[in-house]
Structures are given as structure tokens and as C-alpha cells.
Structure 1
Amino acid sequence: MQSLHELIAFLESLPEPHILFDRHYRILAANTAYRLAFSPNGEVVGRRCYEVSHRFDRPCDQAGESCPLALSLRSGARERVLHLHHTPKGEEYVNIELTPLPDAHGKLHVFVEKVAALPSARPRSDEAAMLVGRSPAFQRMLARVARAAPAQASVLLLGESGTGKELVARAIHEGSPRASRPLVVVDCSSLPESLFESEVFGHEKGAFTGATHTKIGLVEAAHGGTLFLDEVGDIPMTMQVKLLRLLESGTYRRVGSTELRRTDVRVVSATHRDLEAMMRQGRFREDLYYRLSTFPIHLPPLRERREDIPLLAEALLRRVWPQRRLTLHPQALQRLMVHPFPGNVRELRNVLEHAALWCDGDEILPEHVEEALAAGRRAAPASTAAALAIEPDGPQEPPDEAPLPTARRERERETLRRALQAHHGSRAALAARLGISERTLYRKLKAHGLLDDGPGSPDRQPDRA
């Protein structure tokens, strides 16, 4: 191992934040980049790393995070984890890479830690092109993004519409060595088959009627950078083989040319479709699927990260109405928290924009949110009741409420209680929003002792057909 003096000199030459510390978390050295990032007005040498970066009074693994030092002491190898660090600019997500430096006897006493910020993600943000969240589901997704970004592997983003796949693709690009080169988006769903090849691969002058000049394709425009294929499940079968050739050899031909061209692109693709089912039906090539999905990343729907709704709502209001200081009334926020959001973050933004138009002051009220939700309401999906932790109707409703396990019963009661607080309409409207029948809603309110809090007359049972 190098001498401590040599290590300190080496760390100082690195542009990224680095520290040298011992197995007791005590910082032995920190380069200028680290001091500027985490403690511009104070000394860090001699302090514990978790005190500086997290403001914790105990190690990360004792405070709910994954500690790279603890992992390295167990494995004896380099470890990488995603952390949420405190900086003078506020909280930010960082990718931690810890390298153990064994002594002459193989013992681990000293470690080097590199801190790399994820520029496109924050726990909260008012910037437009930013991933926002701090829920466990969001952090699991972000950890995979941090793993994928610096690599060259093809990434497949999977998730429902409106979950932010283009933002994730941008985060992968900006966290890669290709960040200084272009990110080119191909909207596969909007390109008809007749134009797909020309748009993606380009064409020569005279290649077809109307081709009055040579045109470079999106593949060529992305040279050195990242090609993002959005809704890759919509690529025509005839084009899939040409895309496969590009992925396997980096070569392609313009329409109307025999010249084999070469490009250097990293491919990130996305889809809300079930590609495995499409393969079984013969509508998507199996070989192309495996080339695209070297590293799949699942984007959680909003109903799986409900605790992020307040952060997202705050950020979205700043983005869509930057000239107004809009806030959400607590009951308006609670109403958003129980909505299933089948359209995910895109639907949340739509609701907030609509509600803001009804708001004459600085605070969006529950009735503004109700108006926005009613205007965009569509039939509740079959999974709505399940997403809200409410047992849906069965094929035949039993005369009495069937007993539920205690934990599920408590979740159901809490969900109903929150829905009642946020609802100002009839019991029928509430039942429709929850995806259950009015009779089932009455039974559940009665079983949970919530009838006095419910909409409509508490003593009137719903009409029976």
C-alpha cells in the first residue's frame, strides 16, 4: 500500500470528491472537491464520515441506510451503494464507491471513498428535468439507475405510461461518460412503418419520391451519445431486424444506399407493453429483446410510491405555475394521497394544473382538487380497490362482512377513514371512486365504525335492487 502522504497527494489530484478513512469511520484525509461539496466552512479530517455527509450520530447501517464500509468489511471487496447526502445546497442523491486498501498482511484498515452526485435526481426539486422522490420504491429504482449509468450496457425501462421513463433515460445519459454528447429520442409509437427506416437510419437523395436531399438519421445524430427508443414495443417487425444489426455490430445503411455505415451509440429503450407476451405471440423478436434488456429497470407506478406525492405535487406546482406561490390545503393533499392515479405522474400534473385554474388565491382547496379529478375521471380500473387496500366486490356479495386479517383490516380502515375525510360528495360517488359497490361501502363503513363519518345519511342503507 502507498504511504499516507502519497495517498493524500493522489486524492487531491482527483476532480471528484474523495475521502480516506479508517474502519472506525474516522476521516484521515479529504480532497478539495469533497470539502467544497460537504463542508466548505469547516474541517472534516478527524470527524466521522456519517457526521459530515449525513449529519447522523451513528453509522449509516444503524440509521436505515446501506453502509458501504460494513459491506466491504464483510466482503473484503469494493462496494457501491446509493446514498442520500446533506450538502450546503440541500439533500442530494449520490453514488458511493468504496475501495478497501489492504496492508501487507491483507488486513483492511484504510478505505478510499468516491462520491459521485446523480445530477438528474433529488429528494425534492423545482427543476423541470429532474427525478423527484424519496420513497423506498423510488430509491430502489434510482439505485439501479446509478448502477446502469456509467456502464455501456443496453438498458430497458419498464413501467406504466406516465411514470417518467424519458426522465430516467436522461438521468442514465447524464450519469454516463457520454453526457457531453447528444441524447436523441426516437418516439417509436408516432412513426408509421413507411417512415420509420428513413427517420431512424436516414436516406439518400432520390431514394424515394419526395427525397429531394440526403438526410441523416437519428442514429447518426446520436453518434457518441445515447439513443433513446421510447415505446420500443411499437417498432414494426420489418424494422426490428435492422435495429438488431445496429445493436450487434454498430452498423446500418441509409435508405437507398448500399454503403455500410458505422455509429457509436448507447441504446436505452422503454415500453409499457409486455414484451415477453409479444414474443410468445410472434410480434417481437426474441433476439432483439435480449439485446435491449441487458439491464432492465422497473419504474414503479405512483400508487406504489404514495409517500412521494407531496414532494411531486410541490415540485410540479412550481414547474407549471412558477409565477404563483401555490400550496395545497392539507385536505386537498389528502385527497390526492388516496386517488389511485392510473395515469401516474402525468395524471398528477394534469390534476394540479386543472385545480390551479380554479384557485383564485394561493392555496388549492379540496373542492378545487375534486373538480379537477371529476373533470378527468374515467372508469376505475379493476385494480383500484386493491391499490387502495380495500377488498373489492366478489362475484356474489355475502350477507355479512367476511373477517379480514388484522393488518389488512387496519389498512382498509385507515384508507376508508382518509377517503371519508377528503370526500365531500355522496356515498355512491365515493363507492364509485373506490371501485366497490355502494352496498359494499355501507357494510365496510359499518364494520369499521365509520358510518357517522360517512357521506350521506348514516342511517340510510343503499337501495337494494
Structure 2
Amino acid sequence: MDVIVSDGPSYEVLASMLEGYDCPAILVSIDYQILAINQRYREAFGEVSLQKKPRCFEVSHGYTVPCDEAGEDCPLSAVLHTGHKERVLHIHQTPRGKEHVDVEMLPIHDNQGNLLFFVELLRAVSAASAEDVSNKLVGYGKAFNQMLEKITRVCSRNASVLLLGESGSGKELVANAVHQGSTRAKNALVTLECAGLTDSLFESELFGHTKGSFTGANNNRTGLVELANGGTLFLDEIGDVPLSMQVKLLRLIETGSFRPIGSSTIKHSNFRLVCATHKNLSQMVKEGTFRQDLYYRINVFPIYVPSLRERKDDLSLLINTLLKRISERKEYHLTDSALQVLRRYNFPGNIRELSNILNRAVILTDTNLIERSTIQECLYIDNELSQQGDFSAPQQSGLKGIHNIDKEWVDLKTAESRYLSDLMTFHNSDKEAVAKIAGISLRSLYRKLES
């Protein structure tokens, strides 16, 4: 609800009201000047000298112009446009570095409806970081922030969440962020990977079983639903749940009750449901391979997890974060040219593929500086394997994306020939050395040089 005050209030009176908020809060004029801050703001973001009346965008972002003129959403501008409170996700400069902050802007009017001030409430988003930390979602690009804003909004609710996105895009990390940001964070996040499970195995994993209920059931087993009581149940690749088991899953979601295999006792579990899939569930509903009633039960609040192709702004940050996770003892960096190779790559395997590439690069490099040629070599490893056997469809091995490594390389054959030619020149035509560096057999090298 918007705040309405009587005519002619002093901002000192309004400033004293800031202490009533349970989060960092500031009083802002209609021309962006910070007029007052509360104690919680001082504790979270440090002291701000108000003598010069700094503007909010200067303090929070280091900008010289309002946020909307610097390419970001501006809550103050949004309030001026809509006339009521607005909420946006921002990245603020803090004593701890860059942090995601959920910003809520409240307009203060007099009793004639004239806009006087704004109260800006700032709540830290603990699920993500704009720095290269190892235990959170990381990113700051537009696609990432759009996803994070939805995560922030739904965390405190108990609504079922459906995560949609390509394989390898980080849906499990998002599920963990939803759980950690909820009131259930002190209890367990229990994960069931639904892909590849038979009917009986899915039922046993989910509901548990009693001793002797079927061949091989040598002991009682507690199901994952029971383990998730008070916490979050994450069903990964929900689109792979056998059709015959979907009705039992629907009953569980609707009633919270279940019965272990071989038992006559009905049990209950209070859990928050998060599901994920890379499949088009609505199309599966039309085809009759996924129940419509189950679809609407799990799709209460959908969140799209962007692919790495849509997060090129985050690529440098993701690379630094992954390199720290790969090697805690030695610090690795990419050269600018190596980074440009990755920027032009499509990453059909998303963040999981990027992690594989960087793991290879760390193994192949002799220093802590990863060169362009090393990254190219890591990409060619997939290409060489695909030529030696039919392991998977080309789009899964990355061959489509490799055409974008460099705009002046028209196709993979040209790129590979140029790469091998450069290696031959650098190593004085030592074919054994070149074959070893390129990760191919000597016979393959002869064939490629002759073609």
C-alpha cells in the first residue's frame, strides 16, 4: 500500500520512520537524492555521508546517470511511470563486493496525491552472487537477473515450481537456490533423478518399501518423500516419469499421503515440490504421454533457466568461478584470445560442457595461463571422437556450435586445417609432437594434412 502523509511533513520525521522497517531502508527525493538511511542500512552497506546529498545511483552502482539511462531497470523511474510501488532486482556495490539486492520502492504522497518522497527497501538475495564464489548461483546478465527475480519472488511462498531449460543449464542449482531461500532451508532438499527409472524402481525410490515386499527387498527402506518431510522434494527430469506412475504422483501431490510398497499403513509428508525438465511438457500432454492434471499441479510457478548461449554476459564470471572450483590450489586464467574463442562457441551442453572444456584445459596447460590454442584443442577433442565413432547426435557433441568459434573460419575443416598448420609451423614440422598436442593419432594427423 502506498504511504500518504499530511501536507508539509519534514523529511526528518519521515527519516525516523525508516527505523520501523526490518530491512535496510533509505529515504529518497524525487530527484534521486538520498535524504536519510536507517541503522539496518548502515550495518549492511556502510555509512553514507548525507551532507552532499548523494544520489542513489551514485552510491549503489557508481553511476553518473540514473539506472534506466545506464541500461538497468530503475525502480524510481518505474514508480513515476505507474504511480504505485515497484520492485526490481539490482546489483549493488557493497563493502563485500557486488551483491544482488531485491529493491522495493514505495512512493510517499501528501493527502492531495502529490508525490513527495520515496522509501527504498533493500533486501539481500542470498541465493546468488555477482562475484566468483563457489557455493551460489553466479551471474549478473539480463537473462540471469530475470531468472533470479522469479526465484526471489517464489522462495518465500510454498507454491510448486517447475524449472524449464536445456540439459546442463543448471536447473539443479536453481532448485537448491529455491530451497535455500525458503523457510524450509533448515530441512532437507531431497532429489530424485526420474530419467531411466522403471515403474517399480520409481515407486520404491519415492515411497519406500517394507522387507520382503518383493524379490530383493531384504530390508525396510524409507522413501524419498518421507525424507523430504518439512523440506523440499526435487524431481529432476519429471518428463521421464512413467505414465503408469503419474497417477500415483498426482495423488501424492494432492493429498500429501502415500503408502510404501508392501505396507498397509498410510503415511503423510509435508514437502515443497520443485520439478525440472528439458522436455516440452505441454506438447507431451497433447500427445498423451503426460497427464494434463499432473501438468497443472506441478506448473504453478514456472521458471525458465536460460541456456549458456543466452548468458554470454556472464561467461567471464562463470569461467572464473568454474576454474576456482576445478583447482583450489592453483589459480588459472584465460587469455583474451582464448576467451573470445569461447564467446563464439554455442555450448550445446551449456554450463556442464563449459566445465568439461575448462577441466581439459587445466590438464593440458603447462602454466596457469590458458592460451587460445589450448581451448581450441579442447574443442577439437570432441570433434575427433565424433569422427571415430557414432557416439551421439552432432548437436549433443558440440559440432554445431564449433562453427562459431571464429567468424573468419567458414567451417570446421578450414578451422582445423589452420590450427594444425600453425602447430606444424610452431613445432618445426614435428608430426609426433603436433599429434600429441592436438590429441589425435599420428595416422589421423597424416590423413588430415593430406586432405
Distance 1:232 1:345 in 2: 21
For the pair 1:189 / 2:203, whether they are aligned, the reply is no
Q: Is the 8 A contact 1:320 1:353 kept in 2?
A: yes
Asked if structure 2 preserves the Cα contact closer than 8 Å seen for 1:356 and 1:368, the reply is no
CA distance in 1, matches of 2:311, 2:120: 31
Residue 214 of structure 1 and its aligned partner are, at CA, apart by 4.0
SS at match of 2:408: helix
Q: 2:34 aligns with which of 27, 39, 64?
A: 27
Secondary structure of the structure 1 residue equivalent to 2:126: coil
Q: Check whether the contact 1:200–1:218 (CA below 8 A) recurs between aligned residues.
A: yes
Aligned to 2:432: none
Within-5 A mapping of 1:147-226:
147-189=153-195, 191-226=197-232
Question: Do structure 1's residue 374 and structure 2's residue 383 form an aligned pair?
Answer: no
Offset of residue 387 of structure 1: 6.4
- Which of 53, 64, 68 is the aligned partner of 1:57? 64
Q: Partner residue of 2:257?
A: 251
What percentage of aligned pairs have identical amino acids? 45
Alignment of 1:26-425 (within 5 A): 26-38=33-45, 40-43=46-49, 46-127=53-134, 129-189=135-195, 191-377=197-383, 378=386, 380-381=394-395, 416-417=407-408, 425=416
Q: State the secondary structure of the residue aligned to 2:249.
A: helix
Q: Please tell me the residue identity of whatever aligns with 1:12.
A: E
Residues 383 and 66 from structure 1, CA distance in 2 versus in 1: closer, same or farther, beyond 3 angstroms? farther
User: Using the alignment, how far apart are the partners of 1:69 and 1:130 within structure 2?
Assistant: 29
TM-superposition CA deviations, 1:129-170 (whole Å, max 9, x none)? 322223322222222222322322211111111100011111
Cα distance in 2 between the residues matched to 1:419 and 1:54: 41
CA distances 1:210-265 after superposition (whole Å, capped 9, x unpaired): 44554332222222222111111111122211221222233323333344333222
Equivalent residue number for residue 417 of structure 2: 426
SS where residue 161 of structure 1 aligns? coil
After superposition, what is the alpha-carbon deviation per residue over 1:356-384, rounded to whole angstroms, capped at 9, x for unaligned? 11111111122222222122234643998
- Counterpart code for 2:66: P
**2:188 and 2:230 in contact (8 A); partners too:** yes
TM-score (norm 1): 0.78
Cα distance in 2 between the residues matched to 1:294 and 1:229: 15
- 1:292 is displaced (CA, Å) by 1.1
- Which deviations, in whole Å up to 9, do the C-alpha atoms of 1:316-356 show, x marking residues without a partner? 11110111111112222222222221111111110111111
Q: Report which stretch shifted further, 212-221 or 375-384.
A: 375-384
Is residue 309–residue 347 contact of structure 2 (8 Å, CA) maintained in 1? yes
Structure-2 separation of matches of 1:424 and 1:362:
26
Would the alpha carbon gap of residues 253 and 385 (structure 1) be closer, same or farther in structure 2, given more than 3 Å must change?
closer
- Unaligned stretches of 5+ residues in structure 1: 391-413, 431-461
Question: What is the identity, as a one-letter code, of the residue corresponding to 1:117?
Answer: A
User: 2 CA distance for matches of 1:372 and 1:386?
Assistant: 15
- In structure 1, C-alpha distance between the alignment counterparts of 2:81 and 2:312, rounded to whole Å: 35
Instruction: Work out whether residues 303 and 387 of structure 1, in 8 Å CA contact, stay in contact via their aligned partners in 2.
Output: no
What's the secondary structure of 2:380's corresponding residue? Answer: helix
Q: Deviations over 1:16-56 (max 9, x none)?
A: 22223333323333222212222x24435843222221122
Instruction: Give the match's secondary structure for 1:267.
Output: strand
- For the residue of structure 1 that corresponds to 2:120, the secondary structure is strand
Letter aligned with residue 140 of structure 1 = Q
Return the TM-score normalized by structure 2: 0.80
C-alpha distance 223-328 of structure 1, shift in aligned 2 (>3 A): same
Provide the residue aligned with 1:458 in structure 2. Answer: none
| Superposition deviation, residue 386 in structure 1 | 8.2
Measured on the aligned residues, the alpha-carbon RMSD in Å equals 3.1
Give the aligned residue type for 1:218: L
Could you tell me how far apart the structure 2 residues matched to 1:263 and 1:109 are? 50
Is contact 1:118-1:171 (8 Å) kept?
A: no
Q: 1:79 touches 1:98 (CA, 8 Å); kept in 2?
A: yes
1:126 is paired with a residue whose SS is coil
